[in-house]
Chain A
Amino acid sequence: MFSRKTKEALCGYLFIMPNLAGFLAFTLLPVAASLLLSFTNWDIFNSQNSEFIGLRNFTSIIGLKLRTDNMTGLTDWLCFWNHLHANDPRFWQYLWNTFFFMIGIPLSMFGSLALALVMNTKLRGINFFRALYFIPTIAAGVAMYQLWRWLLNPDFGLLNQLLSVVGINGPNWLGSPLWVKPALIFMGFWTSIGGYNMLLYLAGLQGIPPHLYEAADIDGASNWQKFRNITWPMLSSTTFFIVTMSLIGAFQGGFDSLYVLTRGGPAGSSTTIAYYIYQKAFEQYYMGYASALAWILFIFVFAATLLNWKFGGRRVHYY
């Protein structure tokens, strides 16, 4: 009836079918719809009132206005940026927050690398330790965030209690615009240091051929020289992968922890762009505006990935 080849192809399409349906329903069509929505002021409860408004969402998000009314002398004109006003100042604040949280990326990456180096010394009981350090990663959910809310409690939380032992009067971590970001970065560090990145680094370390180190030993290389000239370059593809995934994650993620711990506060000091999209779409129901925000976020993710490929990818050492 059918030739072997046709049959194989038919089978292939059949097996991909659920996937293709899911791709259409949950990715392709929604992407197209959301692009359209970003040019409208769509109201989910009252779609009759929605209309096409061109680029207005985008200009209200990233647009800047020059206020000329109180600009008098030449110096005012030369320093015109002092008179620029953002249409949506929150957007810029939240963008800054999103980038600020990225301080956590190198911290947890180098923490994971250090941990992997210690774990790679062929110890007994390594499986046990590896599992232990992984616990925070698997437990990362509402229950763990509630725990952190308690740990960071200003008066009775464990962290401030411990700090008071050494005579430090700990801040109101989650209630202070200054300390909320460091507190969340600290929690992220605790959650992720023994997680996926550590496992990837450990696998990378185990893949380095031992003869490289033997040769270095013969040449009398120090531990630091061995790390700098063998370990680090041999791990470059792992590092590259981790940086790429962390950047993507930093732009998109973090919703759950923010929702449980701070609701983006105080005064928006822990709101990220991803969280802002949630607020606009599902608390204020500005669906068009939120769609435009989501596309701006996507452009950032895309640009970050591209830059990383261009500049980081070049340094990757393949063997």
Chain B
Amino acid sequence: MKQHFRSVVAHACLSSGALLMLIPLAWMILTSLKTFTEVYREPPVWLPQKPMWSNYVEALTSFDFALYLRNSLVVVILAITGTFLSSAMAAYAFARLRAKGKEAFFILLLSTMMLPAQVTVIPVFRMYVSFGWINTLYPMFVPAWLGVNVFAIFLLRQFFASIPQDYVDSARIDGASEWAIIFRVFVALSKPAILTVIVFTFMGSWNDLWTPLLFVHDQQLYTLPLALFCFLSKTIGVRGVQWELMMAASAIVIIPLIVVFFFSQRYFVEGITMTGLKA
């Protein structure tokens, strides 16, 4: 009886909390379906009289969504591939291969997480200038190929370290190359960690405002976050900001994230949990 009562209370708490968490997002969707006059009505109207799906069409067309989506997808896909390859290789080396100096290097890498990006950004900017990479998409994905995502390496190393050495030995006896051992054995056995790395990289590069803001000036090369930032000034009409359009565009950018997350969340949670246990 007592147990039952407690679970009812807990459910009630969680549900009301969830409601509070979702109100802002619900308000975004509701706003995106209103007319301009409904948006600015006092007292506020919760539900639009007639859902204005045309706001989404208008946002998509006036926002040049297809172009920015293309840029974002190029960056996201290349960043994910690069992070995956470079961190899997490094994590395997750090977890399994005996090589002099690797421990020291690993600790050095971990300690760079403390280093603010502000310290390195100015020289990196100068470096991109001399490479001719200003106003290109390179700064948004090349670092990923060079393993700058220390967290990904750390996470994969923790997972890889828990895989029994027998697997490696028997694969070697069967004549598997080190390369095959990484991608056929270790990666295949660490799905939660790999998925976590992929989702993290996806979120990070889909939401990245800082890199395009600093290194890209040409609107043709904007990715979604920067484009969305600039979109606000475009929605300012004679009577004020057209929040219904702004919210429609925002919803379009947020929804892919939520979809990806919901499909991967079971593994994702397992992956994050793993970092905490060893920390």
- Judged by a CB distance under 8 angstroms, whether B100 is at the interface is yes
Given contacts A18-B145, A37-B123, contact A118 B10 (CB under 8 A): yes
CB distance from B49 to the nearest CB of A (A): 17
Determine if B176 is an interface residue (Cβ-Cβ < 8 Å): no
Q: Which residue, of A135, A136, A259, A298, has the highest number of chain B Cβ atoms within 10 A?
A: A135
B39 within 8 A of A: yes
Q: Is A51 an interface residue (CB 8 A)?
A: no
Distance from A304 Cβ to chain B, minimum over Cβ atoms (Å): 10
Instruction: Assess the B126–A129 pair: CB atoms within 8 A.
Output: no
Asked if residues B118 and A150 are in contact (CB atoms below 8 Å), the reply is: no
Say whether A78 faces chain B, with CB atoms less than 8 Å apart: no
> Chain A: which residue is nearest B39 at the CB level?
A156
Q: Return chain A residues, CB-CB under 8 Å to B229.
A: 142, 146, 259-260
Q: Counting CB contacts under 8 A, is B261 at the interface?
A: yes
Q: Which residues of B contact A22 (CB under 8 A)?
A: 86, 143, 145-148
A30 at the interface (CB under 8 A from B): yes
CA distance A285 to B228 in the complex (A): 25
Question: Does any Cβ of B come within 8 Å of A212's Cβ?
Answer: no
Tally of A interface residues using CB under 8 Å: 93
Q: Please give the distance in Å from A312's CB to the nearest CB on chain B.
A: 13
Any A CB within 8 A of the CB of B28: yes
Q: Does B153 contact A (CB under 8 A)?
A: yes
| Interface residue? B124 (CB, 8 A) | yes
A156 and B86 CA atoms in complex are apart in Å by 48
Q: Are A12 and B276 in contact (CB under 8 A)?
A: no
Verify if A305 is at the interface (C-beta below 8 Å from B).
yes
Q: How far is the CB of B5 from chain A (nearest CB, A)?
A: 11
Chain B: interface residue total (CB-CB under 8 A): 93
For the complex, is A200 an interface residue (Cβ under 8 Å from B)? Answer: yes
B14 & A190 in contact (Cβ 8 Å cutoff): no
Q: Are B28 and A147 in contact (CB under 8 A)?
A: yes
- Assess whether B21 is in contact with A190, with CB atoms less than 8 Å apart: yes
Determine whether the beta carbon of A158 is less than 8 Å from that of B276: no
Chain A residues, Cβ within 8 Å of B116: 251-252, 274, 294, 297-298, 301
Q: Does A68 contact B (CB under 8 A)?
A: no
B171 CB within 8 Å of chain A: no
Q: Complex Cα distance A148/B262, Å?
A: 23
The distance from the CB of A163 to the nearest CB of chain B, in whole angstroms, is 12
A31-B115 contact, Cβ under 8 Å, with A15-B92, A135-B258, A143-B228: yes
Of A86-94, A100-108, A119-127, A225-233, which stretch is located at the interface?
Answer: A119-127
Does A138 contact B261, Cβ atoms closer than 8 Å? yes
B250 engages A146 (CB within 8 Å)? yes
A138 and B276 within 8 A (CB)? no
> What's the Cα separation between A313 and B266 when bound, in Å?
32
A27 within 8 A of B: yes
Q: Are A200 and B113 in contact (CB under 8 A)?
A: no
Distance to closest chain B CB from A167 (angstroms): 13
Residue numbers in B under 8 Å from A25 (CB-CB) = 127, 146
Contact partners of A297 in chain B: CB under 8 A = 116, 118-119
Please indicate the chain B residues that have their CB under 8 angstroms from the CB of A138 in the complex.
203, 257-258, 261
Closest to B42 in A: A156
Report the nearest A residue to B90, measured CB to CB: A19
Q: How many angstroms between the C-alpha atoms of A27 and B119 in the bound complex?
A: 9
Q: List 4 tightest A-B contacts by C-beta distance, closest first.
A: A22-B146, A141-B207, A12-B99, A12-B97
Q: List 5 A-B contacts (CB under 8 A).
A: A18-B145, A132-B18, A142-B250, A149-B232, A156-B40
